[in-house]
């Protein structure tokens, strides 16, 4: 039996290692991560990841769902979830291709009830990753020579969040999530003469972000039959666009002469500058038979009109949309056969990215599948720990429209501790 001190130590160690990993991790090198704050990643926990990301109107008492904080009320026992994800990318244009990948922790959360009508959650989750290395050549005007430009980007943003969900009556619940968004994005531009290995000049930019955001949500749920086993749920979330404080430093390095070291100059340093982030409104709905199946759908719209780049210039970032459809099926939760206890999940999602290649917006189409494997424990009669496996594959951009295509696939594995026996101290063994 895991004691209280061991559980607390596990939470602290995982939370600390996750923060370090978010600051340094990557899911693979790709030019498609060259977005305003990096490539946004799915924020959902285990169940929603395997269901295509459908979460806004998709409640569950066994799993944490922070995408709509109004649904936290359904967590009536203590829940701990941790998720690790790996991914491989295959990027190609009309002449070249490359394969990269990475493994990072992507979510950690703890949810627990605080009263008969209220539950809370806290944890950490990634928002974006940046990792690209782009090289191209250009002729030098006035002389018979060619210069090679190399553009690099690395880093990402993460969010430490606290949320609460409150049941108002038999139909409505409301929730609120507050979060601290933080992270560091670094960019580098190297210039060298074509055919040489040493750059003649290098410009490095480091952007450190920190800011607070707010996300309210509401949910409506009603039974559709007299036996109250079938339910219809609708959820609505509005993620406010907010200003993040930016600390920025530009450094210029130049080569004095061949064989001599670089001279380094700090071009400028900014502190306290504000950068606006986009706002998102999301609607979700689900139809379910308790303990048996769930069909869920999400639609979200993100407005980038408030975004300004770190120089304070309003950028023409295209608005984005996201659609997700997911299905979960548990054959028989009370069966004596293990295969009938497994949760089987499928999903598909389509979204547009805040990125244009070849003057056309980039799209992302993904399919998901997954399983929730219950850990059988005789003392846990109604709720069980789960080991969750989610697999996904998709494509971003295409050669015909964007002169670039990325096929990606990967998997995530998570553990869910969600039955009361894990958090109960026994006086008699």
* pLDDT tens profile 129-158: 999 988 878 777 666 677 788 889 999 999
Lowest pLDDT segment from 222-236, 249-263, 309-323: 249-263
| Tens-digit pLDDT profile for residues 109-121 | 999 999 999 999 9
Q: In this predicted structure, what is the pLDDT of residue 268?
A: 63
Average pLDDT over residues 6-33: 61
Can you list the domains of the chain with their CATH numbers?
4-423 (2.40.160.60)
In Å, how far from its chain's centre is CA 167?
27
Predicted confidence band of residue 189 (pLDDT cuts 50, 70, 90): confident
**Predicted confidence (pLDDT) at residue 170 exceeds the cutoff of 60:** yes
Residue 251 pLDDT exceeds 90: no
Confidence label for 351 from pLDDT (cuts 50, 70 and 90): very high
What's the confidence (pLDDT) of residue 145?
73
Instruction: Give the pLDDT of residue 426.
Output: 45
pLDDT given for residue 1 in this prediction: 43
Taking residues 265-277, report their average pLDDT.
Answer: 71
pLDDT band at 254 (very low <50, low <70, confident <90, very high): low
């Amino acid at each position: 039996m895991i004691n209280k001190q061991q559980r607390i130590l596990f939470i602290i160690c995982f939370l600390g290692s996750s923060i370090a990993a978010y600051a340094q991790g990557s899911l693979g090198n790709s030019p498609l991560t060259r977005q305003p704050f990096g490539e946004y990643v799915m924020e959902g926990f285990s169940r929603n990841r395997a269901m295509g990301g459908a979460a806004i109107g998709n409640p569950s008492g066994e799993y944490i769902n922070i995408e709509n904080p109004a649904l936290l009320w359904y967590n009536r026992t203590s829940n701990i979830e941790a998720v690790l994800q790996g991914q491989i990318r295959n990027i190609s244009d009309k002449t070249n291709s490359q394969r990269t990948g990475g493994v990072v922790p992507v979510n950690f959360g703890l949810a627990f009830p605080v009263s008969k009508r209220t539950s809370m959650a806290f944890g950490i989750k990634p928002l974006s990753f940046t990792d690209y290395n782009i090289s191209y050549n250009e002729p030098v005007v006035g002389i018979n020579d060619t210069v090679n430009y190399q553009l690099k980007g690395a880093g990402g943003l993460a969010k430490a969040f606290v949320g609460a969900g409150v049941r108002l009556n038999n139909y409505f619940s409301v929730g609120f999530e507050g979060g601290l968004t933080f992270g560091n994005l670094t960019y580098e531009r190297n210039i060298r003469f074509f055919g040489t290995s040493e750059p003649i000049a290098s410009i490095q930019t480091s952007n450190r972000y920190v800011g607070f955001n707010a996300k309210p949500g509401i949910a409506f749920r009603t039974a559709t039959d007299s036996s109250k086993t079938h339910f219809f749920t609708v959820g609505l979330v509005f993620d406010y666009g907010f200003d993040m404080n930016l600390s920025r430093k530009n450094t210029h390095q130049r080569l004095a002469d061949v064989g001599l070291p670089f001279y380094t100059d700090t071009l400028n340093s900014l502190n306290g500058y504000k950068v606006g982030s986009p706002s998102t409104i999301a609607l979700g709905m689900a139809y379910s038979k308790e303990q048996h199946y769930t069909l869920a759908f999400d639609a979200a719209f993100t407005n980038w009109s408030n975004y300004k780049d770190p120089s304070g210039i309003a950028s023409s970032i295209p608005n984005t949309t996201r659609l997700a459809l997911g299905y979960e099926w548990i054959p028989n939760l009370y069966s004596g056969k293990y295969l009938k206890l497994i949760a089987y999940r499928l999903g598909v999602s389509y979204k547009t990215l805040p990125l244009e290649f070849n003057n056309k917006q980039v799209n992302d189409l993904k399919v998901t599948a997954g399983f929730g494997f219950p850990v059988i424990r005789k003392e846990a009669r109604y709720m069980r720990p789960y080991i969750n496996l989610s697999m996904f594959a998709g494509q971003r951009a295409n050669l015909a429209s964007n002169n670039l295509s990325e096929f990606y696939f990967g998997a995530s594995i998570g553990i869910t501790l969600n039955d009361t026996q894990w958090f109960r101290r026994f006086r008699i063994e």
